Amino acid sequence: METSSELALEVPIVSARYARRFVRFMEHRGVKRHTILANTGITDEMLNNPDASLSMHQVMDLLRQADWLMTDERAAFEFGQQLDLPSHGLLGFAMLGQENPRRLVSMIVQYLRVGLPLMDMELESTGSTFRIRLIDTWGVEDLRPCLTKIYMGSIHRISCQVCSNFHFQFDFPSSASLEDWQLLAPRVRVRIRGAGCSGHHAVEGLTSP
C-alpha cells in the first residue's frame, strides 16, 4: 500500500500522546490551543484519551498549522528534544544504554519506525559510529524540514547518553548558524546541503567508549 494514498492518510497510526505534548509545547510558546487545533479535526477529548490515535492527515494538518506559527526555525528540533525515552514509552530501555549502546540505538530505531511512523529510518553502523537516515515516505515536501527536525531532536535527546559527538545533515536550507544550533545541542556539527539533495537527512553519532 502506498503510504501517500488517501486511504493510508486516514488510518489512525500515531498515538495522541505525541500531539498532546506538541500542543503543550506550542502553548508554552504563547500559542493558544484553539488556534493550533483549528481545522485539524483534533479535539481535546482525543488529546486526553490515552488510547486515542491520530491519522497522518490529522498530524499533517496540525504540523502545518503550527509551522507558520513558529517564529524560530529550531522550534521543531527543540520539541523533538522533549521526546525522551519515557515520552516514547521506553523507560525500560534506559538501562540498556549502559550495557549495550549499539543495541539501544538499534532498538530505538526499530520502535520509532512503528510507534512514530511519520518518517522511515535506516540504520547503519561501522565500528563506534552509527548513521541514521531519515526518509520521507509520505511525500509531504512542505513538512520535511519540520518532521526532520523533530526526529533529529528526539534522536539527539535519546542518544546523547551513549554518544559523544553528532553530525546532522539536512537537505534543506537553514538560516540558523552553527552557533545557534549548538545552543540547543552542544557537540553537534550541522551540514546544510541545500535544495536539490532530496533524501539526504542523516544523523551520525559516535558512541562513547
DSSP string covering 138-154: S--GGGHHHHHHHHHHH
Residue 119 has pLDDT above 80, yes or no: yes
Residue at 78 is within a domain: no
Q: Domain residues for 119?
A: 93-207
- Residues 106-116: pLDDT tens digits? 888 888 888 88
Same domain, 150 and 196: yes
What is the pLDDT, as a whole number, of residue 44? 95
All cell numbers assigned to 136: 520521507
104 vs 14: which has the higher pLDDT: 14
Based on its alpha-carbon atoms, the radius of gyration of the chain, rounded to whole angstroms, reads 17
Residue 32 placed within a domain: yes
Is pLDDT larger for residue 99 or for residue 148?
Answer: 148
Burial of 111 from C-beta contacts in 10 A (0-12 / 13-18 / 19+): middle
Whichever domain contains 159, its CATH number is: 3.30.1240
How many domains does the chain fold into? Answer: 2
Q: Are 61 and 99 contained in the same domain? A: no
Check: CB of residue 187 under 8 Å from CB of residue 166. yes
- If asked whether residues 197 and 102 sit together in one domain, one would say yes
**What are the DSSP E strand ranges found in 56-128?**
120-126
C-alpha cell recorded at residue 107: 532498538
Residue 61 has pLDDT above 70, yes or no: yes
Residue 19 falls within a domain, yes or no? yes
Name residue, grid cell 551540514: 191
**108 and 176 part of one domain:** yes
Does a structural domain hold residue 1?
A: no
* 5-31 residue pLDDT tens: 788 899 999 999 999 999 999 999 999
What residue type is assigned to position 57 of the chain?
Answer: H
pTM of the model: 0.86
One-letter identity of residue 34? H
